[in-house]
Copies of this chain bind each other. A is one copy, B any other.
Amino acid sequence: MPMAQMDNQAVTPYGTDHLPCRRAVVATETPLVLDCGQTLSHIPVAYQTYGRLNADRTNAVLVCHALTGDQYLIEPHPMTGKEGWWIRMVGPGRPIDTDRYFVICANALGSCMGTLGPREVDPATGKPWGLRFPVITIADMVRVQALLMDHLGIERLACVIGGSMGGMQVLQWAVLFPDRVMSAIPIACAARHSAQNIAFHEVGRQAIMADPDWHGGDYLTNGAQPTRGLAVARMAAHITYLSETALHRKFGRRLQDRAALGFGFDADFRVESYLRHQGITFVDRFDANSYLYITRAMDYFDLAAEHGGVLTGAFRGSPVRFCLISFSSDWLFPTSEVRDIVHALNAVAADVSFVEIESDKGHDAFLLEEPELFAVVHGFLDGLAQHRRVAPL
């Protein structure tokens, strides 16, 4: 059940105070030093929780969301009204069972759903941060989540789980805070962003920055929105989330609302109409600058880089119990990339299991109805509860 809590309903022209969610402010005493060298303090964090924390605080599960995700796991999105993005995974009796676990999901640093990001107001200027916001990393996102855990009095997480960029955060948690993570389930991710993925992100960023309504990042104060550029960015990205097989099955060359080719530039094909819809609806819920910052954080992700380019160095001596999951038709984060992580974990004799799930749904499979995914997560968390003695509620 959602336990949304409105701490502040005042709607500012720029901010996200109107969103219904829990809120915390972290880094209030000591500023957070970011990877870029800049500091941030008094960082607002928007989050949701589900279930109850047990007496010895051992049943907390942190869910990390993907690029354009948010903290609304199982309740409708407050702007789109669409169902929570992981309603199939989280809830009473679900694989991440809220009758057993206390589930937390926080909006990522740099995003636009209530946690500090370029859309929020910089107290120093009274205006949105825009491009004056520091460039952040996946590690910075994780550090903010760790501060939120401090705030909630959770020393150690039973599990950190997430797909795509969420999976990157899971890996980063295990590397940065191995003693605060009993188990980690990185799904459909990689230990570093590939050249091809950087390239796709760069196309999206260039599409946004090419839109005159972007105004060098200051669109909010100019009363504008780079909706066309952001829509194009989303369209390009969306193709990478699906498999060719899924696109063929869903759309093939079927026409949209017509019996014959239109010989024009309207959406003749259903796949065009679908993509346009993806682009148009995205701009209603997402901030263009956040898209720039978060894609950049993913581009920068390279777990091995801090260990002389050797991934094993990141995991040596890790006490974390890992369960890695990939999908056979995911070409954005192919199984081979997940396997590289598994090999590194095996090389340091870490506690690791790995499942490649046969699916033709592409990268997005982690968000969809994938019974095997649910079974794997359920089984792994069951085993964890027995072995690590997660206290019952």
Contacts from A to B (Cβ < 8 Å): 35-37, 131, 134-135, 192-196, 198-200, 202-203, 205-207, 209-212, 228-229, 231-232, 235-236, 239, 242, 244, 247-248, 250-253, 261, 263-265, 267-269, 271-272, 275-276, 279, 292, 296, 299-300, 302, 331
Q: Are B275 and A199 in contact (CB under 8 A)?
A: yes
Complex interface: chain B residues within 8 A of A131 (CB):
265
Q: List 28 A-B contacts (CB under 8 A).
A: A37-B263, A131-B265, A135-B265, A194-B244, A194-B247, A195-B269, A195-B271, A196-B242, A198-B269, A198-B271, A199-B247, A199-B272, A200-B236, A202-B267, A202-B269, A202-B271, A202-B272, A203-B236, A203-B275, A205-B265, A206-B231, A206-B276, A207-B207, A210-B211, A210-B229, A265-B292, A269-B299, A331-B331
Picked from B192, B252, B268, B271, the residue with its CB within 8 Å of the CB of A253 is: B192
**A264-B198 Cα distance, complex, nearest whole Å:** 14
The answer to whether residues A251 and B195 also contact, given A131-B265, A202-B271, A271-B202 and a CB cut-off of 8 A, is yes
Q: Return A298 CB to nearest CB of chain B, in Å.
A: 12
8 further A-B pairs in the complex, CB-CB below 8 A; given A196-B248, A202-B269, A207-B210: A36-B263, A194-B244, A198-B272, A199-B235, A202-B272, A205-B265, A207-B207, A207-B232
Task: Evaluate contact between A253 and B193: CB separation under 8 angstroms.
Answer: yes
Q: Which one of B206, B236, B265, B279 contacts A279 once the chains associate, using CB atoms below 8 Å?
A: B206
Q: Does the CB pair B206–A235 fall under 8 Å?
A: yes
Q: How far is the CA of A217 from the CA of B289 in the complex (A)?
A: 29
CB-defined contacts of A210 to chain B, threshold 8 Å: 207, 211, 228-229, 231-232
Chain B residues within 8 Å of A247, by CB: 194-196, 199
Residues of B within 8 A of A250 (CB): 195
Residues of chain B within 8 A of A251, CB atoms compared? 195
CB distance from A360 to the nearest CB of B (A): 13
Smallest Cβ distance from A125 to chain B, in angstroms? 19
Contact B194 A206 (CB under 8 A): no
